[in-house]
Homo-oligomer: A and B are copies of this chain.
């Protein structure tokens, strides 16, 4: 049962290092409200892929909890993001999740806004109102290698250091010249932090993910993994795949920076990519010249992990719904010239992360039910769960900071 919820500072002060978090962080509606502001209202969020916005007037919506953001390409070809909100009486401006428009016209009273956000027309509005002050509210946007990120914060965290560090790692994959082969959403009856913690450790992979563990070396001990990684390094260099380690998460990053990381690790022998049989799944991405038998883990902010194989990329998005519900979305990217049926088989492409995410849904939901129990006590993390400890530290620091600075 729900225990009474102490204040966030008291809860953070009571956090035992190297242990999971207290129950309230995973169950309390009050802390979920704090998360809405401090985490989802502050972090950079993967909102769209550039392939969705090729032409002037193209737009897509990015919805998260009660907020909706219009991402569009304006008449001059620039990417822009606005709150999806008429400045008159607050109606959603765009209802359809994507489209191409000359301007945004409100379905309620037909106020119209240009693609640059300025007010085009407000019928019968008295002249004394300042039309320049009635443009759409801009939302911070960053484009990184074809991936479009937004932040709902008025003062978003710095993106420059992340861009400088990650661009060389991502550039050879040329994600801007990919397209979305598939997307799937998995609703999970669990707090979003339990999904993140699950994503942040591979201690569970051996027991819960036989399909993944057959091909990916990450769940093994260091002695077994090191020689595999060494062999991959040489192949990666030959294929043009970056293997630089970037680790700027939590305490490893500078004040005001955004979490970011990049790491390449070996697949097991016989596996060229994340496929069931080890064989390639799709044409090589970008400037990659061959299969190095590796996979890259990358992070853009706390909430946007991705996996890069030589022939496809897998992007994750987490959509919190309430204290006990979160949707997990997976987006599969392939080379923009690749055609389903001819160049890749969709079922084979999505097999690994579909089966793995379905298993994660089951175990994370069992985790959520357990942590809600009156008997729950946070247990000790093992060394292989070190990134959970770091996630907890980063999360709690962010939450506390937001609580004090407002």
Contacts and interface: CB of A to CB of B under 8 A. Distances in A.
A184 B379 CA distance: 37
Nearest to A203: B109
Contacts of A20: 89-90
A342 interface: no
A369 B107 contact: no
Interface string A114-136: 00000000111110010000100
A198 B36 CA distance: 30
A378 B88 CA distance: 7
Contact of A371 (B90, B95, B129, B370): B90
Interface residues of A, number: 65
A366 B41 CA distance: 22
Contact of A67 (B1, B66, B122, B367): B1
A378 to B, nearest CB: 7
A373 B125 contact: no
B1 A380 contact: no
Report copies per complex: 3
A68 B384 contact: no
- Interface-central residue, A37, A85, A89, A382, by most chain B CB under 10 Å: A89
Contacts of A370: 68, 84-86, 90-93
B108 A373 contact: no
Contacts of A382: 122-126
Interface stretch (A158-166, A204-212, A309-317): A204-212
A109 B204 contact: yes
A109 B207 contact: yes
B85 A376 contact: yes
20 contacts: A1-B36, A1-B37, A1-B65, A20-B89, A66-B373, A68-B373, A83-B375, A85-B370, A87-B379, A88-B379, A89-B197, A90-B371, A107-B362, A107-B366, A108-B207, A108-B367, A123-B203, A123-B382, A124-B203, A126-B382
Interface of A: 1-2, 20, 33, 36-37, 40-41, 65-68, 83-93, 95, 107-110, 122-126, 129, 134, 137, 139, 152, 197, 203-204, 206-208, 221, 362-363, 366-367, 369-384
Given A85-B373, A90-B378, A110-B207, 14 more contacts: A2-B33, A2-B36, A20-B90, A66-B373, A85-B375, A89-B371, A90-B373, A91-B366, A92-B369, A95-B366, A110-B206, A126-B380, A126-B382, A152-B374
